[in-house]
Chains A and B, each alone.
Chain A
Amino acid sequence: KQEVTQIPAALSVPEGENLVLNCSFTDSAIYNLQWFRQDPGKGLTSLLLIQSSQREQTSGRLNASLDKSSGRSTLYIAASQPGDSATYLCAVSRETSGSRLTFGEGTQLTVNP
Chain B
Amino acid sequence: DTEVTQTPKHLVMGMTNKKSLKCEQHMGHRAMYWYKQKAKKPPELMFVYSYEKLSINESVPSRFSPECPNSSLLNLHLHALQPEDSALYLCASSQPLRPRETQYFGPGTRLLVL
Interface set of A (CB-CB < 8 Å, partner B): 31-32, 34, 36, 41-46, 49, 51-52, 89, 91, 97-101, 103-106
**Are A41 and B110 in touch, CB under 8 angstroms?**
yes
**Are B99 and A43 in touch, CB under 8 angstroms?**
no
Interface residues on B, range: 20 to 34
A51 vs B56: C-alpha distance in the bound complex, in angstroms?
Answer: 23
How many residue-residue contacts, CB under 8 A, span A and B? Answer: 58
**Are B99 and A98 in touch, CB under 8 angstroms?**
yes
Q: How far is the CB of A105 from chain B (nearest CB, A)?
A: 6
Besides A42-B108, A43-B90, A44-B43, 20 other CB < 8 A contacts?
A: A41-B88, A41-B108, A43-B106, A43-B107, A43-B108, A44-B90, A46-B103, A49-B101, A49-B102, A91-B42, A97-B56, A98-B96, A98-B97, A99-B31, A99-B33, A99-B48, A101-B103, A103-B43, A104-B42, A105-B41
A89 vs B43: C-alpha distance in the bound complex, in angstroms?
Answer: 10
**Are A89 and B42 in touch, CB under 8 angstroms?**
yes
